Amino acid sequence: MEKKSAFLDTLFLLRKEECITIFSNIHEISKKEEQDAADYFQAEFEKERLEFLSDTLVCDTETAVWAAKIVYHSAQLHLIRENTAKDLNKLIPSFKGKKDISAMLSADLSLRFLPQIVSALQVSDPEDPLVKMLENILKQFHYSAVGMDLDLEDINWEEELKDKTYRKLYLERIVEKKSYQLAEIPYLNNLLTAEFGLHKDVFWKELKTITEENERQDRI
């Protein structure tokens, strides 16, 4: 009988049930498990691509597997911390690939679950160095962090959302998460208002319409 994989079982359960099993120790992930995960994310990406119907966006399986390992290790580190301090950079490696839209969406297959893990870690220990490492990753892959209180002031939103497919998905995520922090940024607010049209009160009645003039007056 084939040996069960803690890594793969965690991914399957997370994506299907949005819950995580914490094991008694952190299992090393084999190359076969990485390949199986890559195949799984390829299939999952194709399912999600039906929602945005883009032929130009493909699954970046390498980035998807990197993100999955980040989420898996972060979840296990919530409870298993004995003798792990020296291994944090190995368990939570920084991203070294090409950060394009395919990478952002591929990473999101797992990273969308990372904010809840970060919140749990913060409750346990606000000074935990792991929290800062994960927040830095989410700043890079902020599509997965919509709804979190992150400092994204340096982002040029017009440049960031120039791809119409990514822009549509990003705006939908803002509405889904009711992220006032992002929705009240003038550029994003204008995009949302245009998308809502006459039906704004149906989609998000409480959201204020922000203009550059409003923002200047708020700062005075």
> How do residues 91-119 score in pLDDT, each as one tens digit?
999 999 999 999 999 999 999 999 999 99
Q: Angle, to 10 degrees, between the axis of helix 114-124 and the axis of helix 129-140?
A: 160
> In the predicted model, what is the mean pLDDT of residues 185-198?
90
Instruction: Summarize pLDDT for 28-61 with one digit per residue, the tens.
Output: 899 999 999 999 999 999 999 988 878 789 999 9
CA 100/CA 54 separation, integer angstroms: 15
Give start and end residues of each alpha helix (H) in the chain: 6-17, 31-49, 61-77, 88-91, 101-111, 114-124, 129-140, 157-160, 164-177, 180-183, 186-196, 200-204, 212-219
pLDDT at 112: 97
Farthest CA pair distance, the chain? 69
Task: Note the pLDDT of residue 52.
Answer: 81
> In the prediction, which pLDDT does 214 show?
54
Check pLDDT > 50 for residue 2. no
pLDDT for 7-23, tens place per residue? 999 999 999 998 877 77
Q: What pLDDT score does 199 carry?
A: 77
Window from 68-82, 87-101, 179-193, 205-219 with minimum mean pLDDT: 205-219
Q: Which residue has the higher pLDDT, 99 or 3?
A: 99
Q: Count other Cβ atoms within 10 Å, centred on residue 118.
A: 23
Mean pLDDT of the chain: 89
